[in-house]
Structure 1
Amino acid sequence: MKNVFFSVSVFIALLLFDSCKDSTQNKLPPAAKNEALSVEKALKDHVKTIEKKQPSDFVPKGFVIFDKIEGNLNNDGHKDYVLIIKGTEKDKIITHEYRGKLDRNRRGIIVLFKTEDGSYNKIVENKSCFSSENEDGGVYYAPEMDVSIDKNNLYINYMHGRYGYWTYTFKYRNNDFQLIGYDSSYNRGPIVQNETSINFLTGKKQFKDNINKDSEEDGDEVFKETWSTIDNRKPVLLSEIKDFDRLDF
């Protein structure tokens, strides 16, 4: 009830301010004029903020929601949202020789934190870091992307059927999401060929290579394990990733 009353009060204040500012500002000294303009901007900014009550209010023009994920990302007990958004440019919709009409608009991500008053703060917006869901997969289908939240971590998973999977793990840090882990498995059918695991906080990379690659049964793998160090001086931030397909470690 408080929020509704405050919002109405702000709206009335804006109306009164707009109606009288033209007749009064010309009579004010420069310092007072600047102060009046600052108050006007603050009031309008507040109205813009309180209007965005739903996650869908943060979707930029020219985009639609492709997927929506709920979960707590900053350990405050509130349910946050991750929106996977998708462009709607008509020239990105093509006709494939064998697959028919395909929407090749790229996808992006928006991370929203829920606040005490029920509104949301936008933490990250990256409009085109993911390829479309309709890319070519060569002799196999393209990898399927899945986004999930667990234990305050944000996971971006790619699943490629018999060829394996890879996962990026992000953690909320310094008002962005920092890549803290990477795990992948390269497979040939049921047989794992190699596995990679990177901890970006420690700078350690584990590589497990199956030296029994010709085995025919799952579980017959024999792994040779090696460790190396990676350069982790510059954090990889979710807001700055231009294309997940081009990440290489």
Structure 2
Amino acid sequence: MNKYLLYLGTALLLLINTSCHDSKSKKEPAQIQETLNQVEEVSEDNVSSTERSKNPADFVPKGYVIFDTIYGDLNKDKIEDCVLIIKGTNKSEIIKDEYRGQLDRNRRGILVLLNKGDGYELVVKNDNCFSSENEDGGVYFAPDLGVEIIKGKLFIHYAHGRYGYWRYMFRLQNSDLELIGYDASSNHGPTVLTETSINFLTRRKIVNENTNPNIDEPEIFEKREIKINKTKLFKLSEIEDFDKLEVSED
């Protein structure tokens, strides 16, 4: 009888130990999974989506080439920043014109890179906002695109010969380049018909109109000042097509 009780007690102890061991084993996977989640979790403050490179060409997306390079200080830190005009390389956009021969009609875009001393950072990317340099101007040549940096501002200038010009002025702000000014001159040969200047920060538009109907005589300008309604500034990264951009609001 004592021997039987001894066997029974031993079996009971083994059963309790096995149960405890199984209980611990079942908890371990949950504890390991929790630890992995904590290790993989990264604070948003430590995540940087900004690319940096010492070579501006590294920012050119696949399927594009550099069309033009402009240097100048955009953030007034006395270090030259870089603006790249890029152009697509899609072979389907190379056409044969009856009069002008082979033309590359691939659209162009813009990359704005800030120089941080140890490399460039991309602040604006717009791949297709400009038409090609080989557009059909009809009876006259198409407007000629020019880009330059003057006194911390980026100017996008369209020269149209005897018909005048128009240009957009952008300033670096709000993590983009925003349109703060617009100037245009509508001409008839050497004679200026109207001059328009818009300041989007003050919301003022000035129009100088030539009131002399004889274009062979000196211009006589009449000035009008208009308060415009636009309050939201255009961002360079969001402009889909400069050829369709309407900025002259009354």
Same-fold status (TM-score > 0.5): yes
**Contact (CA 8 Å) 2:200, 2:231: kept in 1 or not?**
no
Q: For residue 31 of structure 1, report the CA deviation from its aligned partner.
A: 4.2
Instruction: Answer yes or no: is 1:102 the counterpart of 2:103.
Output: yes
Distance 1:38 1:132 in 2: 46
RMSD of aligned Cα (Å): 2.3
**Residues 227 and 142 of structure 1: CA distance in aligned 2, closer, same or farther (over 3 Å):** same
Distance 1:49 1:173 in 2: 19
What residue is the counterpart of 1:222 in the other structure? 220
**Contact (CA 8 Å) 1:193, 1:213: kept in 2 or not?**
no
Distance 1:139 1:109 in 2: 29
Mapping of residues 27-176 of structure 1, within 5 Å = 29-37=32-40, 49=51, 52-116=53-117, 118-176=118-176
Deviations 1:163-183 (A, max 9, x none): 111110000111101100000
Q: For residue 208 of structure 1, report the CA deviation from its aligned partner.
A: 1.0
Distance 2:222 2:51 in 1: 55
Q: For residue 193 of structure 1, report the CA deviation from its aligned partner.
A: 0.8
Match of 2:238 among 225, 230, 240: 240
Unaligned 5+ runs, structure 1: 1-25
TM-score w.r.t. structure 1 length? 0.81
Unaligned 5+ runs, structure 2: 1-28
Q: Which has the larger radius of gyration?
A: 2
Amino acid corresponding to residue 62 of structure 1 in structure 2? G
* SS across alignment from 2:57: helix
Distance 1:139 1:111 in 2: 34
Distance 1:216 1:64 in 2: 46
Deviations 1:195-248 (A, max 9, x none): 10000001111111111142315xx00011111121221111101101101112
**Residues 75 and 30 of structure 1: CA distance in aligned 2, closer, same or farther (over 3 Å):** farther
Q: For residue 192 of structure 1, report the CA deviation from its aligned partner.
A: 0.5
Amino acid corresponding to residue 138 of structure 1 in structure 2? G
**How many residues matched?**
217
Distance 1:104 1:55 in 2: 24
Q: For residue 120 of structure 1, report the CA deviation from its aligned partner.
A: 1.1
Distance 2:133 2:243 in 1: 12
TM-score w.r.t. structure 2 length? 0.81
Among the aligned pairs, what percent are the same residue?
52
Amino acid corresponding to residue 174 of structure 2 in structure 1? N
Runs of 4+ aligned structure 1 residues displaced above 6 Å come to: 42-46
Deviations 1:71-120 (A, max 9, x none): 1000112111000011111111111110111111110000000113x211
**Contact (CA 8 Å) 1:124, 1:239: kept in 2 or not?**
yes
Amino acid corresponding to residue 224 of structure 2 in structure 1? T
Q: For residue 44 of structure 1, report the CA deviation from its aligned partner.
A: 11
* SS across alignment from 1:61: coil
Instruction: Answer yes or no: is 1:184 the counterpart of 2:184.
Output: yes
Amino acid corresponding to residue 54 of structure 2 in structure 1? K
Amino acid corresponding to residue 92 of structure 1 in structure 2? E
Distance 1:45 1:229 in 2: 42
Amino acid corresponding to residue 146 of structure 2 in structure 1? D
